[in-house]
Amino acid sequence: MPNSDFEIIQRILAGETRAYAELVDRHKDRAMTLAMRILKNREDAEEALQDAFVRAFKALDRFEMKASFATWFYRIVFNVCSSALGKRGRAYGIPLDEDNLEAALNTPPAGNPEIEFDSSAFQRLVHEEIERTAPAYGAILTLFFIQELGYEEIVEVTGLPLGTVKNRLFRARMMLREAVLKRMRESISESGSVKQEIAQ
Amino acid sequence: MIHLTSSHIFQLLDGALDPSEKKRLGNHLETCGECRQELALQRALARSLRQQALASPSPQFTTTVMRHLLFYERQSALLHFMMKHGIMLALIVGLSILGYALLTTPGWEMTKDKIQTLQPEKRITQFYVTANRELVQQVHNAGGKIIDLASEENAWLFVVTAAIIVMLALFDRLVVRQFMGIRT
């Protein structure tokens, strides 16, 4: 049976520094995904993640054992990535261009193009669109769907008020929906025109 | 027909509705194809988001982090030592320099033989008195004036002050740092 995070932390605090490698291996992929969603660049994300792991190690004696290590650590990752984004001159915030959101809110729930939602094409399309999502929305979507955190935990990680977290998640979902639908419509019309060309 | 709002659909997917509300929305979904289609789309998006492949850092990532940590530990061992013994070391060095400076003054040299004949408990007070006189003399030679305070009472004051400094240093190490949560 694998050791829990708490057991590993207790070993580290008792002086077994090498046990930290187990914690790193356990959390690096999910944390890297969060870093990638915010920084949109592999090298920057890896550097920020390294920094976050070192910071977490230094602060490990202040970690309260009642909390989840993952949530506590994601907060460090989130802060490091936000600072890195700031240094690159891109503030972590809401983009001004929210055309997708406006379109999504104005689109009635009907009229979705016919497409296989389970297809790998759909999966790829969602992946491409989430990669393009603004950091503020990408981070919230990742924390909710990949890290599977609840609203309260996202509040803890991001330091945002509960209302803002709920609102941002709602907007992120709507914008992703609209972006995916737009791409689906485009691909359907492209394939339609190809069929027409072949028929002619 | 009034359709379900996006908020309703998200709450339904996230399991955030109470049973009566869930039943009400369920009734609507049974009769509304458009809302069923929207629910299917949102469900597919949520599933797709959950199934997204995780991004992995480079294979040597853990090794690199651990190397950084070992470097930090070596650095912090020095820092740790300084935090633990720094004040004591500073006091010892400070008092040694002061002692050396006073011991090498001409006045001290002249009376050294005399002082060595004294009882051990008298030596330190005599040392203070001699040093104080030497200071007064130096100031006088330099054209200034200082009131000669040299006496055995003042000598004890000097000893008590030094003892208080040492006690404060110990207090700082043993008590204050405990409250401040600094590990020594």
**ipTM for the whole complex:** 0.78
DSSP string for residues in B95-123: HHHHHHHHHTSHHHHHHHHHHHTS-HHHH
| Assigned token pair, A5 | 């995070």
pLDDT value at position A101? 47
More confident residue, B138 or A139: A139
Average pLDDT rounded to a whole number, residues B122-135: 70
Binned at pLDDT 50, 70 and 90, residue B105 comes out as: low
Shortest CA distance from B76: residue in chain A: A58
pLDDT at B120 over 50: yes
Write the CB contacts of B1 (distance below 8 Å, at least 6 apart in sequence): B32
- For residue A17, the chain B residues in CB contact (below 8 A) are 69-70, 73
d(CA B149, CA B128): 10
Task: Residue A32: list chain B partners with CB under 8 A.
Answer: 54-57
| Helix pair angle (B61-103, B120-141), 10° resolution | 80
Which positions 71-100 of A are in contact with B (Cβ < 8 Å)? Answer: none
Token pair 């941002």 in the structure block, residue: A168
Contact B29, B36 (CB under 8 A): yes
Q: Which of A8, A26, A50 to mutate to test the interface with B (most CBs of B within 10 A)?
A: A50
**Residue in B4, B45, B181 closest to A126 by CB:** B45
CB contacts under 8 A, A 99-128 vs B, are 104-105, 108-112, 117-118, 122-123, 126-127
8 A C-beta contact, residue A32 and residue A46: yes
Contact residues, chain A, for B65 at CB < 8 Å: 20-21, 24, 50, 53-54
Closest CA to A18 of A50, A57, A49: A57
Higher-pLDDT residue of A98, B167: B167
**pLDDT digit string (tens) for chain A, length 200 residues:** 456 889 999 999 988 888 999 999 999 999 999 999 999 889 999 999 999 999 999 889 888 877 889 999 999 999 999 998 887 766 555 554 445 445 555 555 444 555 566 677 888 888 888 888 888 899 999 999 988 999 999 999 999 999 999 999 999 999 998 888 888 888 777 666 555 665 55
Please tell me which of the candidates B35, B44, B54 has its beta carbon nearest to residue A29: B54
**pLDDT, position A67:** 80
Q: Do B61 and A30 touch (CB under 8 A)?
A: no
Most confident range (mean pLDDT) of A30-34, B22-26, B146-150 is A30-34
Spatial neighbors of B137 by CB under 8 A, at least 6 apart, are B107
Which pLDDT band, with edges at 50, 70 and 90, does B109 fall under?
low
Backbone angles phi, psi at A10, to 5 degrees: -65, -35
Gap between the Cα atoms of B101 and B96, Å rounded = 8
Angle (CA) B161-B167-B172 rounded to 5° is 125
| Of A122, A146, A43, nearest in space to B41 by CA | A122
Residue with tokens 């791409």: A183
The per-residue pLDDT for B182 is 44
The encoded tokens of residue B85 equal 């013994």
Residue B178 C-beta-side C-alpha neighbours within 13 Å? 5
Distance, CA of B39 to CA of B12 (rounded, Å): 9
With a cut of 60, say whether residue B148 has pLDDT above it: no
For the segment B128-149, the average pLDDT, to the nearest whole number, is: 67
Inter-chain residue contact A109 with B51, CB threshold 8 Å: no
Residue A146's alpha-carbon distances to A1, A151, B53, B126, in angstroms, are 24, 14, 9, 77
B21 vs B30: CA distance, rounded Å: 14
Mean pLDDT, to the nearest integer, of B11-17?
A: 85
Check CB contact of B10 with chain A, cutoff 8 Å: yes
CA distance B24 to B19: 9
Inter-chain contact A61–B4, Cβ cutoff 8 Å? no
How far apart CA A181 and CA A159 sit, in angstroms, is 32
